[in-house]
Chain A
Amino acid sequence: MSAEYLFYWSMAATGLGLILIGLWGVLTRKHILRIALAFTLADTGVNLILVWSGFLPGRSAPIVDSSVTQMVDPLPQALVLTSIVIGVAVAALFVVVGVLASRKSGSADIRHMKELKW
């Protein structure tokens, strides 16, 4: 039982940790692709938290089978699929725009993309 709970809480902790690392990366990195990577990390963390929100310790995966009596909430898992798909699309778009923006400004440094301000 305690191992189940350890898993349960470490899942939340990992998710949160990933989000924090991602946000830290987004705020401190200057290279546009690193920022994209940081976003992906944070996204993964968020997805982990989403799965965790429907997770109940000690229950099995929601694959319907005669032996399964108690399973975790399937809904968040379905939602996470959507979120992952969207995440991939957004990440791809981000990278494309980032690459083209860095071509325009001649550098991949986000500090050089400050034409528009005030």
Chain B
Amino acid sequence: MVKALAVFLPLLGAFVNAWLPGKHPKASRFVSYIILTAGLGFVVMLSLQLGAWNLEDLSDSVIFHSGVGVPPLSINLEITAGGTLVAIAMYLAVIFSIHRFALHTPKSQPLILAMLTASLGLLFATDIFNSFVFLEIGSIATIGLTAASKCGSRWEAAIKVALVSGLVTILYLLAVAVLYRSTGMLTLQALGTLTGGSAVLVSILLLTVIVTELKAFPLTGWGLDFYQGASSNVAGLYSATWSLAVLMWAARVLPLLPIGNPIIYAWIGAGGLVLSQLAGLRAGSAGRILGYSTSAYASLLLVAAGTLTGAFYTQTVLILMVFSSLAKFSLFMLGNPWKNRRWSGYGTILMLAPVLLLAGIPPLPVFWAKFAFLGYLASNFTVIFYAVLAGLFLEAVYLFRFWADRSEKIQLKPFSKPSATAGVFVILIAAVWITRLLWTQLDFSGSIVTSSTLRVIFHVLFGAGTLLCLPGVFNRIGSERNYWFWLLISGASLTLLPAAGNGITFYILWEISAFAAVVGVSRGSGARNGAFWYAVFASFSGYLLLAGILLSRGSFVMAGLPALLMTLAALVKLGQFGTHLWNVRTYPAAPGTMPAYLSGTASKAAVLLLVAVALNATGGALPWGRVMAWAGALTALAGAVLAALAPDYKKLLAYASVSQIGYILVGLGLASILGWTAAIYHTIHHMIFKMALFLGAASVLYRTGTTRFNNLGGLVKKMPLTFAFTLIAVISFAGVPPLAGFGGKWLLYNGLIEAGWLPILIVAMFASVVAFLYSYRLLHGVFLGQLSPKNAHAKEAPLTLLLPQGLLAASIMVLGFKPTLLLNILVPVLKAIPGLSGLAPVIQGDMVLTTMGTWNAWMVGIMVMVVFGIAFVFYWISGHKPKYVGQLDIGFAGEMPPSADEVHYSNNFYRPYERALAFLPRIHAEKLFHGVSKTFSMLGDGVRMLFTGDGRTYLAHSLLFLVLLFVFLNGGM
């Protein structure tokens, strides 16, 4: 009885509702709620009875007969444990969205309830003719609901669904007839007993039906048009009920088809995934974008059906399909949020959780299934693995664009979108639940980075970096929004990162820190683009890392291809020249102290990854070390040149960050003890001074509202402390002896000379010279020269920003005068790593000795201070008084300047150098990148030409697919 009610109660409700007079919308809504709640109760009872909630064994089932004879005359349902979970998701979706229909189109309630019964029936039906009946009810309800909505293109969407379901009916019934003719049975199991010609015929008919109904590529067109044309309410409800039911039904039928080798599904799926996601890059409307994402999940189902078996298959498909459907439900239920009222952060979260889920970011439920699934593919079906990975990356790109385009416009009050809220809530609870079940897979023993000293260094680095960014989070300007939460999440997972003991743990922490930071960035004003590029490059680097981990089969990293992939992941994350595009877009756009965190702290995760790869793959030496060192040196040079020419404070710092990272790569690439000492020393030093500089930039931005050089200048009088701290940081990174930066360079050049890599040495040294250019520009453009009248009222930075800067400046001094404090810890550790070549520097008191020379930082520091002091006193006594000239006091012969800013001294500061360098081919990384994205767009446009919009084309696609399958299977057999 419970079983029957769980499935058929909604149908009863549909009949009751259909006969209720339309005058009482409240009564019909009441009936719907009663029916749905009762039905949900029954399903939950069944799920508890079948023990579905531990997700371990989902195959338990109970059989239900309708009582009138045997199938197919009666209805025969097999209610499985996994199925009850799906059914709960469907019930919840309907319960939380029916009020939206009850409000505007009360008469569509019977259709919704009928759709729910059809979905539940299809989910559990074991008889192929029963399935047909449910399929038809489902299509009728879909067409009806689409047509009953209040959306402009509803008729066109409905007619396309009708056309396709007409064709599906014909093909499906033909398959039924052939099956019955050959076996005399109509159960799903009978499919397996088919042989010979009828097996081929039934297989191709049903496969065409399934691929069409799934909207998998290439039979996607009608689904896209439907999602685009139907109202968002209908599309949302559809994806959480009917679409989900079809997916689960297909998941049951596909393994039973007598098709010979199921690997053909995987090929259709993998090829379709790549092509459809290429086309998805170009999709414009929300409905269409989500349609392409549906197609991606359908293709994933085909890949799973072709490669996995048993409980692994059931669990993977269940998690992937249920949660992707729920995510789409939530996104659709947001409707047109940009028409809504006031701003709140709640809208972002509402939009974000489903997008992250669809993109498979941990710890959301889909991630766990994808990780296991892709791991299996990596070790058994390599080509399919790469195709799937490529497709998923493309999907992530357009999903993040979708999010970036819309999240800024979402302005919601809490609980103003209960359906979407409910969907997100379910997703988050499930994330906790599934993570709890799979917690044992995680390992925080820290066995990846074998040296505990190195681990502690990185723990402290990440932790301190995050903490120093925190005080300033409330000094926001203009339309910037709260980002402290995301900064905290990102920083916390980063701080845990060195403790990761296996690949999955490392990957999870890496991804959480990256994507929490993406959200943090998106909270800036006008940071949409910056956040989008960060998300794209973060997911690119994430997928490279994932591929590396999965191809290493259990261990963290294996030498060869996995090590290469993970090295690339780190380089993308660092912003190696060529991928630096995200740094220079993201850092300037990020709000408040966020850029300090990103550049100073978060980028060091990539250094940790490089260290881990080197330690695990080769015991110290990074593969392709010399190539990496060259890449690093050129990055240092190119970044420095671009920094010198940058017109904006934050942009300059972003390029400078790219440049400085280059030195770290050179050091690691050396694979000698000296090189690594230099690299890790510079990593710590870079974190310190870059954070100080970016916090200084945040202070300037907070007090003046701008970071463009031609609006700044002369701030030394208004913000003397900020100036002092920035000055210390600048002197340090310029590598002038008394401060910390000198040590890193000295060690690095020693290492390069030791290894005999003189060309790299020359490039690195030249880059340091260029660094003087931009460091002077930075000081001059912001603090020196005359004060801009616009900033006449600027004040010293608030204490929340000053204090961290002060601490950082102090540590620069300490590290500068006493570098042995750090080297004493570092050198013994690095000496113990067997893979590193060369001699270790020897430390005697304050002296550091290498074969090339000695360095006594304390002595040098004292001497420089004394000389500096004498010069300062002399200057003081001489009483030199400068003559002040107004900032805009400049003659302009014969021309009218378009605006005062353009004659500002800081405008085009280094134009002479720019002109002098003009004979060199300019480095057109941007152009290259645009070329790549244009190529992808063109490919996508080529693919989506398939979906012409003419309903008959879609039918032709299906029939052509059928014919091709026939030819292929007959040729293959």
Residues of A within 8 A of B (CB): 19, 22-23, 26-27, 32, 35, 39, 42-43, 46-47, 49-50, 52-54, 73, 75-76, 78-79, 82-83, 86-87, 89-90, 93-94, 96-98, 100-101, 104-105, 110-111, 113-118
Contacts and interface: CB of A to CB of B under 8 A. Distances in A.
B177 to A, nearest CB: 4
Interface stretch (B55-63, B160-168, B877-885): B160-168
A54 B944 CA distance: 44
8 contacts: A50-B177, A89-B136, A90-B139, A97-B143, A116-B156, A116-B157, A117-B949, A118-B944
B675 interface: no
5 smallest CB-CB distances across A and B, nearest first, come from: A117-B949, A114-B949, A101-B155, A116-B225, A53-B177
Contacts of B335: none
A79 B72 contact: yes
Contacts of A46: 169-170, 173-174, 177
B952 A53 contact: no
Contacts of B959: 23, 27
Interface residues of B, number: 52
Contacts of B282: 118
Given A83-B132, A90-B136, A116-B228, 15 more contacts: A19-B170, A23-B167, A23-B959, A27-B952, A35-B952, A42-B166, A49-B174, A79-B72, A83-B173, A90-B169, A101-B155, A105-B156, A113-B160, A116-B224, A117-B947
Contacts of B170: 19, 22-23, 39, 42-43, 46
B158 A82 contact: no
Q: Which of A39, A73, A87, A118 has the most CB of B within 10 A?
A: A118
Nearest to A42: B170
Contacts of B147: 96-97, 100
B70 to A, nearest CB: 10
B144 interface: yes
Contact of A75 (B72, B944, B948): B72
Given A75-B72, A90-B169, A93-B144, A104 B952 contact: no
A6 to B, nearest CB: 19
B951 interface: yes
Contacts of B165: 90
Contacts of A76: 177, 180
B72 to A, nearest CB: 7
A105 B950 CA distance: 14
Q: Which of B133, B173, B279 has the most CB of A within 10 A?
A: B173
B945 interface: yes
Contacts of A47: 173
B177 A97 contact: no
B176 interface: yes
Contacts of B155: 97, 100-101, 104-105, 113
Given A116-B228, A118-B945, A54 B180 contact: yes
Contacts of B139: 90
Interface string B936-963: 0000000011011111100110010000
A100 B148 CA distance: 12
A32 B158 CA distance: 13
B159 interface: yes
B140 interface: yes
A98 B156 CA distance: 9
A97 B155 CA distance: 6
A53 B180 CA distance: 7
Contact of A117 (B136, B181, B225): B225
Nearest to B287: A116
Contacts, number: 140
Contacts of A90: 136, 139-140, 162, 165-166, 169
Nearest to B941: A118
Contacts of A32: 159
B753 interface: no
B948 A114 contact: yes
A27 to B, nearest CB: 6
B618 interface: no
Contact of A19 (B162, B163, B174, B228): B174
Contacts of B952: 26-27, 35, 110
Contact of B178 (A53, A105, A115): A53
A98 to B, nearest CB: 6
Contact of B158 (A52, A89, A97): A97
B429 interface: no
Contacts of A35: 163, 952
Given A75-B73, A86-B133, A100-B155, A116 B173 contact: no
A116 B136 contact: no
B169 A113 contact: no
B177 A116 contact: no
Nearest to A32: B159
Nearest to A78: B73
B949 A116 contact: yes
Contacts of B955: 26-27
Interface string B70-90: 001100000000000000000
Contacts of A79: 72, 129, 176
A45 to B, nearest CB: 8
Contact of A39 (B133, B166, B945): B166
B950 A114 contact: yes
A73 B167 CA distance: 27
Contacts of A93: 140, 143-144, 162
B136 A101 contact: no
Contacts of B283: 118
Contacts of B173: 46-47, 49-50, 83
Q: Which of B73, B129, B162, B178 has the most CB of A within 10 A?
A: B162
A97 B73 contact: no
Q: Which of B165, B948, B951 has the most CB of A within 10 A?
A: B951
Contact of A101 (B156, B948, B950, B956): B156
A71 B926 CA distance: 78
A116 B174 contact: no
B229 interface: yes
Contacts of A94: 159, 162, 166
B447 interface: no
B158 A101 contact: yes
B837 interface: no
B153 interface: yes
Contacts of A27: 952, 955-956, 959
B477 to A, nearest CB: 41
A97 B161 CA distance: 10
A90 B174 CA distance: 17
A116 B944 CA distance: 12
A26 to B, nearest CB: 6
Contacts of B72: 75, 79
Contacts of A97: 143, 147, 155, 158-159, 162
Contacts of A75: 72-73, 180
B353 to A, nearest CB: 28
Interface in B86-139: 129, 132-133, 136, 139
A112 to B, nearest CB: 10
B66 to A, nearest CB: 14
B937 to A, nearest CB: 13
Interface string B201-236: 000000000000000000000001100110000000
Given A97-B155, A117-B948, A49 B162 contact: no
A78 B140 CA distance: 22
B167 A86 contact: no
Nearest to B282: A118
A4 B955 CA distance: 36
A26 B951 CA distance: 10
Contacts of B157: 116
B814 to A, nearest CB: 61
Given A27-B955, A89-B140, A82 B166 contact: no
Nearest to A91: B166
B949 A49 contact: no
Nearest to A96: B147
Contacts of A73: 184
